[in-house]
Structure 1
């Protein structure tokens, strides 16, 4: 590929469930495919109901097209709805689940050029299943390459800054979703939305979310499909 310009599309907090269903997901897939990305990433809270009941609504995600595929990291809502079954369904759609794992992308000439790391959600620390382990997630990366991390909650940055990833992609906050409740997010999370430098030349991006949770209202926090272009200096 052209390593000087690498195009990532990020989805986060789609919340497929009682309100967001197949037509919404189909529109998302069409919009993403039109942009011809190199990589698609989903940073958690894709599933917001018993996954067996929404399998048909998730099905269009199998049609996502990108040069290097689609990668998924769990959010807190996956933990509330039979997470192991959710992982199975996501994998069945041809999506790579990075549950405290990494994958190194390799170009057509066989040259590795980017680490992609995916973290389990912090919610797992309070449950007896899928407990996150950041050290395990990073242990197999190629330290000579840039690293992009998929982590649902911005709060993860406190634990993973030691590994100095180049870019961390997160969601969870919904940009506050309904103003003036945005300030409440800061009690739990270090960032609300947008791009921030967490240490020199290392960045974290917080998506406002693609769908919504709870009532279908978003005031001053519009939803988004995020497009990121990585360039080499």
Structure 2
């Protein structure tokens, strides 16, 4: 009877040690580069820099839990997200600065000049990237135009325009105006079909209602369709499904509809996110068979699925094109290397098996840190071409 509590304590201890090690590395490397190393700063500068880094490292996990935990405290979330972005950029460029440090050493530049040059370069590069990355994250996404040839698509649907939104992540930073700007761009594209592949928001419907409201004004000739992403399962997935329905969107909750134009038809199906089954939300799980049940097998299939990793199910069920998001294109270089450990594709159009193609968007919004560095957001215009 005592084994289970011991196991829980053991897991908690391991988790705590991992978090401590990550924080030590993430904050410690920039501290070593900017404050310690061979800079030989005056004692007051050294003490102030050390105290600032230590305070940030201690505060960060508490701010993160308070901001992104059960209560979704927006002020804490804004602080933790911004801090995460800043320390990530400082960490990355502190590591890369080892190359500059070595080059200066080979050139005969001694400390403290060598370390102070490195510190200045890291500080300037990080500042420029953070300012640029913030501007990239906050602007209305540019349109990315892609043509996709689908051999089974009938001639009546040749040129069908599908606009893909994904990962809008309405969150602790109020982006209602940004949301309106996105919708204005979408409506200017004169889409036949508009799809949102999940991660609408971080927070409950009641918290993000105003930011999501412009989605109700999206125009599409043949339909507006939506599937859940993993973040819906942190903040009331079923309530988001119902809210999107109230805004006039078809929630493709493991089901499909058929769109027809000029005698040609296309099955438009959707599956829940792959994390849905473990979320505890009743009736939510990824189910390709249910999504395609009753669909005519000779018709081409467009599948909405939040994560590129779900393409294995698309291949198994003969889907012609899956559209996804989730990766954000990495959002903040070089985080994309970590994303690729979990996902088969980072962004763009790819082929999987004999029939299935996958388009992965870099995302329309951003999650967490309000920065996009070498991973621009997008509103995707997919033009489907027949045979």
Decide whether the 8 Å contact of 1:102 with 1:140 is kept in 2.
no
Determine the C-alpha separation between the residues in 2 that align with 1:14 and 1:73: 13
Deviation track 1:172-217 (CA, whole Å, cap 9, x = no partner) reads 0000111111111111111111100112342101000000001111
What secondary structure sits across from 2:275 in the alignment? helix
- Structure 1 residue runs of 4+, over 3 Å off? none
Aligned partner of 2:224 among 67, 70, 75: 70
* Larger relative helix fraction: 2
Determine the C-alpha separation between the residues in 1 that align with 2:280 and 2:369: 30
Decide whether the 8 Å contact of 2:318 with 2:355 is kept in 1.
no
Determine the C-alpha separation between the residues in 2 that align with 1:76 and 1:141: 26
The CA deviation at 1:168 is 0.3
- Gapped runs of 5+ residues in structure 1? none
Higher RCO (C-alpha under 8 Å, 6+ residues apart): 1
The reply to whether residue 216 of structure 1 matches residue 386 of structure 2 is: no
Deviation track 1:62-121 (CA, whole Å, cap 9, x = no partner) reads 1111111210010000111011111111111000000101111133x6x45100011100
The reply to whether residue 10 of structure 1 matches residue 164 of structure 2 is: yes
In the alignment of these two chains, the number of paired residues is 231
The reply to whether residue 91 of structure 1 matches residue 238 of structure 2 is: no
Identify the range of structure 1 (14-23 vs 4-13) with the bigger mean alpha-carbon deviation: 14-23
Aligned partner of 1:142 among 283, 296, 299: 296
Aligned partner of 2:279 among 118, 123, 127: 127
Determine the C-alpha separation between the residues in 2 that align with 1:102 and 1:80: 25
Residue 20 to residue 75, structure 1, CA distance change in 2 (3 Å)? farther
- When the two structures are superposed, what TM-score results if normalisation uses the length of structure 2? 0.58
What secondary structure sits across from 1:25 in the alignment? helix
What secondary structure sits across from 2:309 in the alignment? helix
Q: CA RMSD in A?
A: 1.4
Residue 118 of structure 1: aligned partner:
270
The reply to whether residue 196 of structure 1 matches residue 337 of structure 2 is: no
Residue 120 of structure 2: aligned partner:
none
1:159-174 → structure 2 map (5 Å cutoff):
159-174=313-328
Deviation track 1:126-148 (CA, whole Å, cap 9, x = no partner) reads 22221222211121222111110
Decide whether the 8 Å contact of 2:315 with 2:356 is kept in 1.
no
Residue 30 of structure 1: aligned partner:
184
What secondary structure sits across from 2:373 in the alignment? coil
The CA deviation at 1:21 is 2.3
Q: Which has the larger radius of gyration?
A: 2
Decide whether the 8 Å contact of 1:43 with 1:151 is kept in 2.
yes
Identify the range of structure 1 (91-100 vs 122-131) with the bigger mean alpha-carbon deviation: 122-131
